[in-house]
Amino acid sequence: MSEKKYIYTFKEGNKDMKNILGGKGANLAEMTKLGLAIPQGFTITCQACLDYFKDPVGFIEKIRTNIMDNIKGMEVESGKTFGADKNALLISIRSGAPMSMPGMMDTVLNLGLNDKAVVGLAEETQNERFAQDAYRRFIQMFGDVVMGVKLEHFERILDAHKKVKGENTQDTDLTIDDLKKIIEEYKILYKKEIGNDFPQKPIDQLFFAIRAVFDSWNTRRAVTYRKMNKIPDFGTAVNVQLMVFGNKGWDSGTGVAFTRDPSTGEKKKFGEYLSNAQGEDVVAGIRTPKKIEEMKDEFPNIYKELMETMENLEKHYRDMQDIEFTIENRKLYILQTRNGKRTPQASVKIAVDRFKEGLITKEEAIMSVDPNIVSNLLFESIDEKKADFSKFLAQGLNASPGAVFGKVIFEADDIVELEKEGDLDIILVRPQTKPDDVHGLFAAKGVLTQFGGKTSHAAVVARGMGKPAVVGAQIIEIDVDNKKFTVKDKVIKEGDFITIDGTTGKVFEGKMPLIEPELTSEFQELLSYADEIRKIGVRANADTPEDARKAIEFGAQGIGLCRTEHMFMDVFRLPTVQKMILAKTDEERQEALDKILPMQKGDFYQIFKIMAGKPVTIRLLDPPLHEFLPELETILLEHQELKLTNGPKEEIKDREKLIAKIRSISEENPMLGLRGCRLGITWPQINEMQIKAIFQAACDLKKEGVDARVEVMIPLIGMVSELTHVKNDLVKIAKEVIDSYNIELDYLFGTMIEVPRAALTAGEIAKEAEFFSFGTNDLTQMTYGFSRDDAEGKFIPIYLQEEIMKENPFEILDQEGVGKLMKMAIELGRKANPNLKLGICGEHGGEPSSVIFAHDIGLDYVSCSPFRIPVARLAAAQAAILEKKKSM
Amino acid sequence: MSEKKYIYTFKEGNKDMKNILGGKGANLAEMTKLGLAIPQGFTITCQACLDYFKDPVGFIEKIRTNIMDNIKGMEVESGKTFGADKNALLISIRSGAPMSMPGMMDTVLNLGLNDKAVVGLAEETQNERFAQDAYRRFIQMFGDVVMGVKLEHFERILDAHKKVKGENTQDTDLTIDDLKKIIEEYKILYKKEIGNDFPQKPIDQLFFAIRAVFDSWNTRRAVTYRKMNKIPDFGTAVNVQLMVFGNKGWDSGTGVAFTRDPSTGEKKKFGEYLSNAQGEDVVAGIRTPKKIEEMKDEFPNIYKELMETMENLEKHYRDMQDIEFTIENRKLYILQTRNGKRTPQASVKIAVDRFKEGLITKEEAIMSVDPNIVSNLLFESIDEKKADFSKFLAQGLNASPGAVFGKVIFEADDIVELEKEGDLDIILVRPQTKPDDVHGLFAAKGVLTQFGGKTSHAAVVARGMGKPAVVGAQIIEIDVDNKKFTVKDKVIKEGDFITIDGTTGKVFEGKMPLIEPELTSEFQELLSYADEIRKIGVRANADTPEDARKAIEFGAQGIGLCRTEHMFMDVFRLPTVQKMILAKTDEERQEALDKILPMQKGDFYQIFKIMAGKPVTIRLLDPPLHEFLPELETILLEHQELKLTNGPKEEIKDREKLIAKIRSISEENPMLGLRGCRLGITWPQINEMQIKAIFQAACDLKKEGVDARVEVMIPLIGMVSELTHVKNDLVKIAKEVIDSYNIELDYLFGTMIEVPRAALTAGEIAKEAEFFSFGTNDLTQMTYGFSRDDAEGKFIPIYLQEEIMKENPFEILDQEGVGKLMKMAIELGRKANPNLKLGICGEHGGEPSSVIFAHDIGLDYVSCSPFRIPVARLAAAQAAILEKKKSM
């Protein structure tokens, strides 16, 4: 039985040893292997951490000699001595698990300092202030991070000293004497809190720190995080590394650099540095950092070395790198390299450039771009560099992305008036929106509501139109009567400008500076790579001809969800729709439906024409009918007012009838009520009208030589008997229409899978359906048993905060629960009907991790709102690449 | 390859050949085998039907000779000749599949008659009217059933002839001449509709009829029914049987008889007969039938034979029999025997008696009683014999069983006043009930509401109290202001008597005669047999000490669901509860909770004490909080009225605050909103108070030497993280309470499984739960995606009518969908935690088929409302018996 190897020097490891050395340790070893100047040191393995927990005291004793041997090695290499008064070896201690994890011990710097070594350091650097400050920081960091003394205790001491010196004193204004006094007070605090003196022996400091890193692996927060993220209990490594200082004098310095411009993606090194400074000084912003190019004059050799290093690192890591470096006495040290953060624009440009430069493959180019951010390229956004964020007014829900500014207007009708006058910069602000407001939404640039969730009427309509929307900003109080809204004591009147950012849900006063979106040629090119690679189709959720046009523009291969309810909500049609609902006789109802038919037919005609040759999945009417009627509350209050004020008898009677009707069709839980196919079963005339409109439109086009590809989708099926009941009648009508044109027309009939029972009995349903489309919005609601509107407003924020949920399941598909139902449905469905086509048309269809899941479980396509199509195309390609990797 | 046997005479089969001969054929064969006088004949097998469909014409030709050989056999046996003019062999043709199935061809009688044979029959019977009427009926039946001529065409002819003779003419008033004219017109109708003359050749009649039976197997209705009921396509048999006539003269007759009294269960033959009559005459009620005992004088030998036959049949079929017999020329024929229908009382008495007489086993006694009906033994019911059903007023939902009459009162407060005056016969009638009305419900004998479903407040509370309730009787229009309600043009004023029947949902004017319930000694005895046999436990859903007492009385082994919300709804507590909800600060809220704690503790104390030694599962607060607040609509209208009438500013302000609060906690879909554990997570103080109350009560009892067995149940879990979050805090508090008493107390923490996601991830949840209790009400709602309140009022009736659903899944557990989730949860749960206890506490826990399902999937217990406990005990025993049979 060979002894386990618990310690590796940086020279012994490489990047593939993450499970042994942790991420940080493996990376330090890798860079050492590349021959870069890395402050040397060693890594105590993850296995050591696990063995430590079995017998903490015994284990530390067991590896003590081993650790000290490695410290010796660092002494030899650096020519410094650990624990010496002069030329002391100073080290940093850092945790590093195989996966990045919050809740673990961070960093202790300057370990090795004590009352004597600080004097030595001052002499060596000729900079006593630097030395004393380093010591102060060490005590604070050690006390806080290693021993658990609350940081605020230290800060209270520091603040007290600063206050004495005046209002705006900075850390840097503290003198050597101040620092010495602070150090003394820190030590007293330490003793009071811990019971012992601050340890003067570096060897004690070292072992305290190592144990603290190990212990941090099992803090409650870390354990919870692992449990939630299903991270195995593989322990954390400990990295012990030589300190280097960029503030040892004017032949020292520190900086950060990117191998390409992180803002534009341009192929040009980009960075900043400061001489005689350490990292914090750059952040503090007291001295203005110099551009990296200036190093050419100041440190010509080092500049050359740095440039070469960066080139090599980018090649080696196959991505743009963000590098931290320090120059200590004219020697360059690389402290860290990582894939550089970049703007969405840069991300795309870098990926395409690097592929063209032959540095990476197409697959790598695709994998290097985060699909989550590319949708931002399609919307206006707030220019963060120029923006004045003190104008912040309120946080709402980010219901439809994009930023926009405009004048606040409270009534839809007023907007239409203003539009006629040519005033287009308008934001509709409402407590909530109703179908009646749609014409205002059409004319406005964006919408802000006080109430409602991401599936509220305003949100859905705005997303459909691609207009920014912030909803449920409950902190604003809207007073429609007096045409103003207030946020705490701030008043915004009608006509005042505000900016809403539907991407973040933020609302600002006035006009914020915006960045125009740009669909660059690189972006188009990247998406063309994605299309070559991806296996899963991408369709759009599109309800109108405008949507369909956008869908085509963004590369949709069809429409996966055409909701017909918005066709009913149109301001000119709504009165007829209401007449249809309120009809007293079948004849009256049919009369109204006969009027609606040509309107719907016209919509379908346009959509089919735009999508010629591509499938269009039309969902029959889904929402509960009371959504088309005025709100009960309004009518009740009107009714009472008329009565109390002796209003016209006729009007009172009208209200009474309307109240009775609304009551008779309103529901306790509309989400679980008379909607979807249930509507079609109880009010079959509506479905029949829709089928006629669809097939007449398709047949007209066919006659004109346009290939309309119809897919009819029946919503909210829970039992196969519902589907057969509805389908049998509709297929008959479809056939009648087609026969009356004397042509042939292929079409499909299918169903949404959005009710848990549909997934559970998918085998039966698949025998009657030609396709399934997973409606993951409803499926999520019913699987979790909570309504999106209520949950997002009320308890999901608390769940996220308390870490009961990792993510909002309406944004990121819940693979464990909802996904399990989907897998079950796919398996049962395909078994019963091998030709079954499978798609997803919930909003998850445009969310990257969900698109990858959709690929993995074998769907044929995803469908998402037009603006998410590029996201889906990219994510779909990533899914194909990931699958290939897994199978390798 | 031996030729298939397509035809069996009645002498060749037996009751175990149902799959070959169909149910009817096998039963006729069995009775023949028993040596009973059965009109003989033969059965064409189910297989013949299937082979017929492969080649209809060819197949009929193939078996023609075979059929005719068997007809020959009947001729030999009967001494009659098929197709002869005199002494013609007349036969009946009936379908008979292995399982009883609607939609199939019924019966053709008198086949073999034609223009000549009818004359022969008249001569033979000396009864021309009889013969002509038999011929008329045959043409009509053949035309309708075999050839598909619409029955109404025949009836129109018949009616016209009757009309000529005056207003109230009966069929029996038609003379021989009338009948002859009708026959002629029937023949003309037949030719017009079918294109050919009515077939005069009996052989043609026979083959038409056989084919019609076969064809009826594949009618759309039959196919749909098979599909829905998962009946295999095994074809139907055809039974060809000799006709016998009880109306051939005064030495003939017909009758029905039961082997025991079907009304009381007494061991005494019971029946009626008529001489010179056929079955229809008994039904027509023109002649009064004689008691079976009178046969002793009229037909002494036959009476003896009949009595012996009945004795034997009861023994042979091991159940009370209902027999049809005919006497033709002093010869007794048994036409049918079947298990006799009986009243619930009789059912129980017969089962116990027969066991005691040694005729059947305990298991058979249990299997012979339908659990669905025994619950009626525990409630008053309308005496159907004495009732005047013309008093019917309205049909509502049968929300809580039992019939009761009382004076109509519209306001809860008025009832309390009347109660003080000693007036107890009161029915509370409300548009809907709210928590404010509970005190009225306590005092009333029953409740009737215009709106609301079976889970509405009134329904739940009434069921809990065991009081009859009819809810959602939408046809009644209540005018609370004017203290009256109307049904169409009928007006019922306050103080008028009505009768409500919560078992059927019917409402009647005035006092209907009622039958008192009786928990007979036989019933007790039968249940004791059930307890010996059943394997699954039976607990009660009980919220109050009264419920708990009832539960014990009916044999509950514990409480499976104690809902705590009703403890909050108590009229004296509600104001405090509202204060708690409306509290502006945590302190205010805590203050209110501190007041509620001792009240809840008192309830728990009583319940634990009553249930000493038996487990009590307490569910923490579940419903959304706005259920405890006044209705928004009411407050809004009050507010507007105050404003319009310049009411006190203070009151207007109060309303405004209340409106804001109600709005802030009201929800779009309360069923899917902030309730269950979500409430406990966002408002942890409520849970904490409840845990304190529970454990203080239990500890107090423990100190007094009473064994309180606490099980705490957390509702609406969808993610294991919810459970751990809630549980960890509560276990800590429970421990604190117990420690403060310085005693030991065992308890369990578990969860409801009522959200689909909980079932899907039950493996994770089981690691954190000591028991699962399936809340099948919510689980059904979420699995189907419809809310019970909305669905039962709006579309479930249509679904049932259109046969989209076989049964209401809120009454009969949906085994295919909801049951699949349950099975999944059990499998995952038991695998992760083998000690997991499993139960069901939805209303299905008291529904027999669901209890059997619960047994089959391996639950440890079912829990149901106290009055359903006897049902559950019986059904549980049946489940155990069925399982044993299956494994044999």
SS (H, E, C) B270-310: EEEEEECCCHHHHHHCCCCCEEHHHHHHHCHHHHHHHHHHH
pLDDT at residue B281, rounded to an integer = 67
Averaged pLDDT for residues A50-74:
95
Paired residues of B508 in beta bridges: B392, B499
DSSP for B696-758, please give it. Answer: HHHHHHHHTT---EEEEEE----SHHHHHHHHHHHHHHHHHHHHHHT----EEEEEEE-SHHH
Q: Are B640 and A640 in contact (CB under 8 A)?
A: yes
Q: Which residues of A touch B754 (CB under 8 A)?
A: 785
Mutate to test the interface with A, among B450, B757, B799 (most CBs of A within 10 A): B757
Q: How far is CA A410 from CA A305, A444, A497, B707, in A?
A: 62, 11, 13, 65
Cβ-contact B85, B224 below 8 angstroms: no
Instruction: Mark yes or no for CB contact A794/B672 under 8 Å.
Output: no
B434-455 tens-digit pLDDT: 766 777 887 889 999 988 777 6
Whether A696 has a pLDDT exceeding 60, the answer reads yes
> For chain B, how big is the Rg over CA atoms in Å?
33
Q: How far is CA A291 from the centre of its chain?
A: 33
- Whether residue A466 contacts residue A402, with contact meaning beta carbons closer than 8 Å, is answered with yes
State how far Cα A216 lies from the chain centre. 28
> Mean pLDDT across the stretch A585-589?
92
Amino acid identity of residue A261, one-letter, is: D
Q: Is B329 left (phi over 0), alpha (psi -120 to 50) or beta?
A: left
pLDDT at A748: 97
Tell me the per-residue pLDDT of A728-746, one tens digit each, with 9 for 90 and over.
Answer: 999 999 999 999 999 999 9
Tell me what the mean pLDDT of segment B615-630 comes to: 92
The answer to whether residues A669 and B672 touch, using CB atoms and an 8 Å cutoff, is yes
Chain centroid, CA B216 distance in Å: 28
Rounded Cα gap, residues A474 and A480, in angstroms? 15
Residue A865 has pLDDT above 70, yes or no: yes
Cβ-count burial of A850 within 10 angstroms (0-12 exposed, 13-18 middle, 19+ buried)?
buried
The full DSSP string for B51-112 is: HHHHSHHHHHHHHHHHHHHHHHHHHHHHT-BTT-SSSB--EEEEEE-SS--TTS--EEEEET
First to last CA, chain A: 33
Closest-CA distance of chain B to residue A647, Å: 13
pLDDT value, residue A177: 94
CA distances from A869 to A69, A375, A695, A810, B77 (A): 58, 8, 28, 18, 83
Number of Cβ pairs closer than 8 Å across A and B?
193
Q: Could you tell me the end-to-end alpha-carbon distance of chain B, in angstroms, rounded to an integer?
A: 33
Helices B521-533 + B869-887 axis angle, to 10: 40
User: Which residues of A are catalytically annotated?
Assistant: 457, 841
**3-class SS of residue A703:** helix
Look at A817 and B756 and tell me if their CB atoms are within 8 Å: yes
* CB distance B582 to B659 below 8 Å: no
Element (H, E) at B239: strand B237-242
For the cut 70, the answer to whether the pLDDT of residue A456 exceeds it is no
Compare CB distances from B804 to A640, A681, A789 and report the shortest one's residue. Answer: A681
Where does residue A22 fall: left (phi above 0), alpha (psi -120 to 50 degrees), or beta otherwise? left
Q: What is the per-residue pLDDT for B775?
A: 97
**Chain A residues closer than 8 Å to B633 by CB:** 632-633, 636
B403 Cβ contact partners less than 8 Å away, ≥ 6 residues apart: B379, B380, B381, B382, B468, B499, B500, B501, B502, B503, B512, B514
Look at the block and give the residue holding tokens 């203080």: B696
Token match 């038609």: residue? B174
Lowest mean pLDDT of A147-161, A316-330, A375-389, name the range: A375-389
How close B719 comes to chain A (CA, Å)? 8
Q: How far is B506 from chain A (nearest CA, A)?
A: 21
Beta strands A537-541 and A559-563, pairing class:
parallel
Give the DSSP H/E element, type plus range, for residue A791. helix A788-794
Q: Is the pLDDT of residue A760 over 90?
A: yes
B781-786: average pLDDT: 96
Q: For residue B239, what are its two tokens?
A: 């039974």
Q: Work out the number of other CB atoms within 10 angstroms of the CB of residue A47.
A: 16
Contact A556, A869 (CB under 8 A): yes
- The pTM (predicted TM-score) of the whole model is 0.81
Q: What is the model's pLDDT at position B463?
A: 73
Q: How far apart are CA B845 and CA B119, in angstroms?
A: 63
Is residue A171's pLDDT more than 80?
A: no
Q: What is the pLDDT of residue A126?
A: 86
Closest-CA residue of A relative to B781 is A672
Q: Return phi, psi of residue B515, to 5°.
A: -105, 130
Residue-wise pLDDT for A131-156, tens only, equals: 999 999 999 999 998 999 998 999 99
- Nearest chain A Cα distance for residue B717, angstroms: 9
Say whether pLDDT at A842 is over 60. Answer: yes
> What's the gap in Å between the CA of B574 and the closest CA on chain A?
23
Copy the structure tokens of residue A545: 């001809």
Q: CA A863 to CA A773: how far, in whole Å?
A: 9
Helix, strand, or coil (residue B695)? helix
> Distance (Å, rounded) from C-alpha B31 to C-alpha B11?
9
Q: Tokens 């909002």: give the residue.
A: A808
Q: How far is the C-alpha of A444 from the C-alpha of A423, rounded, in Å?
A: 10
Distances B446 to B194, B373, B500, B838 between C-alpha atoms, Å: 58, 21, 8, 35
In chain A, what residues touch B678 (CB-CB under 8 Å)? 786, 794-795
Amino acid A1: pLDDT:
38
The interface predicted TM-score of the complex, written ipTM, equals 0.81
Residues B696, B701, B706, B710, Cα dihedral to 10°:
-20
* Distant-in-sequence, close-in-space partners of B115: CB < 8 Å, separation ≥ 6: B200
Q: By mean pLDDT, which of A409-418, B22-31, B157-166, B669-678 is the weakest?
A: A409-418
pLDDT of residue A203: 96
Contact B535, B855 (CB under 8 A): yes
Q: Note whether B818 contacts A757, CB cutoff 8 Å.
A: yes
pLDDT tens, position by position, B375-407: 778 888 898 888 898 999 999 988 888 899 999
Beta carbons of A637 and B640 less than 8 Å apart: yes
Q: Identify the band that residue A280 occupies on the pLDDT scale cut at 50, 70 and 90.
A: low
Nearest-by-CA chain B residue for A669: B669
Q: B351-374, pLDDT tens digit by residue? A: 999 999 999 999 999 999 999 888
| B contact test, residue of A224, A645, A683, A757 with most B CBs within 10 A | A757
Strand order in the sheet with B476-479: B476-479, B484-487, B490-493
Top residue of A668, A674, A822 to mutate, by most chain B CBs within 10 Å, is: A668
If one counts every other C-beta atom within 10 angstroms of the C-beta of residue B384, the result is 11
Segment A302-330 shows an average pLDDT of 93
In whole angstroms, how far apart are CA A188 and each of A75, A153, A158, B852? 32, 11, 14, 74
Residue B872, token pair as written in the block: 């559950």
Nearest partner of B321 among B106, B31, B524, B523, judged by Cα: B31
Q: Are B380 and B478 in contact (CB under 8 A)?
A: no
The C-alpha atoms of residue A641 and residue B374 are separated, in whole angstroms, by: 55
Closest C-alpha to A596, from A692, A664, A680, A706: A692
Whether B785 sits inside 8 A of A778 (CB atoms) is yes
| Least confident stretch, A210-224, A667-681, B873-887 | A210-224
The DSSP letter of residue A367 is H
Q: Strand A747-753 vs strand A476-479: parallel, antiparallel, or unpaired?
A: unpaired
H helix and E strand count, chain A: 36, 31
Predicted pLDDT at B464: 64
CA A167-A171-A177 angle, 5° bins:
100
d(CA A358, CA A348): 16
pLDDT band at B790 (very low <50, low <70, confident <90, very high): confident
